[in-house]
Structure 1
Amino acid sequence: MELLFLGTGAADWPHPGPKVGDNRRNCSLLLNQQILLDCNAMTLDALNEFQVDCSRISHIVIGHSHSDHFDFDSICTLASQPRSTALTLHLEAGSAQKFPIPDGLSGNLQLQPFTTGEEFTVGAWQFQPDAANHPMADPQEQAVHFLLQDPDGKTLLYLLDGGWPPEKTCLRWQHTYLNVIIWELTVGIETAFHIFSHCNAQMLAILETAFRQRGMIDANTLQLCSHLARRFCPPQPELQRQLQPYPFRPAYDGMKISC
């Protein structure tokens, strides 16, 4: 499993342009150079800066349609670039109907809706989309977290973004050992009203303990944090210091991990 963090910031980060520097772009994660989790208006610059071969990207999977996770124009631009096979866009069924494929891209981009709670296949990966505690303006759309299994059987829990996960969602995870968790840490170590739809470190510590007691994670589980708000999270060195008491560490833009 190869992870490349193209962006680790929440919605309040401004677009840094072609070079991210010490800033953060909105969240996006590339799996095995082929599957893009979330694609926003900053993602194309990230792909260019980190020298990603975009022709290898075959699937884009979107957790919800908020603009810091999803930008249809950027996806269409990516699909219009030379490629040997069509790019498949996986959207939650409640939002998929709002984004018809443009006529000029019918051979380059295809839409594959998924239903919350129903597993689906993305290439050689298995995806399980489960309800997140993250309100959407359209009541027909459900924001989701993803439980993934790679071709080698390793598991990744991708928790962007949302507050305390619903009980039904956690019960669906409880019998799965997790090799990797990417927590959402929008609020950092702060306590703000945002915790009702996002998480802070204290919340993650409780969830982490519950997962550990259930046998879902252990000392070998890689735990990283993303979706870091500019308002609540200091620059990377200070954030790393703040999180030293916890078993998870903050990711950064351009971070690449093989696990």
Structure 2
Amino acid sequence: MKLKFLGTAAAEGIPAIFCSCETCKISHELGGKNLRKRSSFLLDDKIMIDFTNDILHYVHAYQLDLSVLEHLLITHSHSDHFNIFDLEMKLNWFTNPDHKPLNIYANEACIQRVKDIPEVEDWESIGMKERLHFHPVRRWQEFFIEDYKITPLAANHITSYEGEHSCIYVIERDGKRILYAMDSGWYPDETWDYLERHKFDCLMLDCTGALLQRQGVGNHMTLEENIKVAERLKKSGSIHEGTILVSTHFSHNGHVVYDRDQDEFLQNGFIMSYDGLEIEI
């Protein structure tokens, strides 16, 4: 599997849009890997996870050809993970009419958000039904995207829609198994039960709080909590010596700067992600 981190920040980005905190100032001055766009991920150039407000930047920066993208997997409805308005760029008058439809795998709340876009009053007459194919995702109900087995697990994350369930994803192919777990605090018991019964080749964990000392608080994790996740899964035999551990989805409020802090992550067994990071497993 080829893993590519298109963006590695929380909703604000780093430097954040309206912020002049010390972390944002340092990141701006240093540039390079210290600059972070909102989190999105590409698997084997075939499956994109989350569609952020920075999607156009990804197209330009990584020379992505999204006209050939067929599969988009969404974790939840927050706008930094599901930018519904740029999906309008699939309409006939915005793009080449000959490209393939985009399959979107998401919970019902996400799907309804797209259908409620004010500009899309008549879904069928403007051609959106042919361009976007929706596949409802439900926790614990595994499904396949081509030869990739996808299992949605329960995240610990509050959303804006009543009854919506955020997901983290286990993805398997050719004997490899990875976990993509953005926007989740400490996992619910049923998620732990699943994780402790399976072996993983790579864990990609939410680290929004980064260097904060606030274990067990909120809908996100810190490096301290990432370490505790790894310790627990090591005890259960779910991760092994060769398992790749990645911390990602950073907020400036976590006071993290790549050039300054990457060694602290490495010393604890984690790769500190950056925009454009590629990993082969």
Both structures adopt the same fold (TM-score exceeding 0.5): yes
For 1:218 and 1:173, locate their aligned partners in 2 and report how far apart those are by CA, in whole Å.
13
Structure 1 runs of 4+ with >6 Å offset: none
For 2:57 and 2:88, locate their aligned partners in 1 and report how far apart those are by CA, in whole Å.
15
1:111-143 deviations in Å (ceiling 9; x for gaps): 111111111112221111111111112221011
Query: What is the CA distance between 1:243 and its match in structure 2?
Result: 1.7
1:30-50 deviations in Å (ceiling 9; x for gaps): 111111100011022112211
What's the counterpart of residue 30 of structure 1?
A: 42
* CA-based RMSD: 2.1
For 1:78 and 1:192, locate their aligned partners in 2 and report how far apart those are by CA, in whole Å.
42
TM-score by length of 2: 0.84
Query: What is the CA distance between 1:218 and its match in structure 2?
Result: 1.0
Q: Residues 1-259 of structure 1 correspond to what in structure 2 (within 5 A)?
A: 1-13=1-13, 14=16, 21=32, 22-77=34-89, 81-82=95-96, 84-100=99-115, 102=123, 103-150=126-173, 152-192=174-214, 195-259=217-281
TM-score by length of 1: 0.91
Greater share of residues in helix: 2
Query: What is the CA distance between 1:78 and its match in structure 2?
Result: 5.2
1:181·1:221 contact (CA, 8 Å) conserved in 2?
yes
Query: What is the CA distance between 1:169 and its match in structure 2?
Result: 0.8
For 2:261 and 2:9, locate their aligned partners in 1 and report how far apart those are by CA, in whole Å.
13
1:33·1:56 contact (CA, 8 Å) conserved in 2?
no
- Provide the secondary structure at the position in 1 that maps to 2:130: coil
1:12·1:231 contact (CA, 8 Å) conserved in 2?
no
For 1:78 and 1:234, locate their aligned partners in 2 and report how far apart those are by CA, in whole Å.
36
Query: What is the CA distance between 1:3 and its match in structure 2?
Result: 1.2
Segments of structure 1 that go 5 or more residues without pairing to the other structure are: none
Aligned residues: 255
Query: What is the CA distance between 1:181 and its match in structure 2?
Result: 0.7
1:6·1:47 contact (CA, 8 Å) conserved in 2?
no
What's the counterpart of residue 20 of structure 2?
A: none
2:42·2:49 contact (CA, 8 Å) conserved in 1?
yes
1:178-222 deviations in Å (ceiling 9; x for gaps): 011101111112124893211111111111111011110011001
Segments of structure 2 that go 5 or more residues without pairing to the other structure are: 18-30
Query: What is the CA distance between 1:107 and its match in structure 2?
Result: 1.8
Matched-pair identity in % = 25
Deviates more, 1:23-32 or 1:97-106: 97-106
Aligned AA for 2:7? G
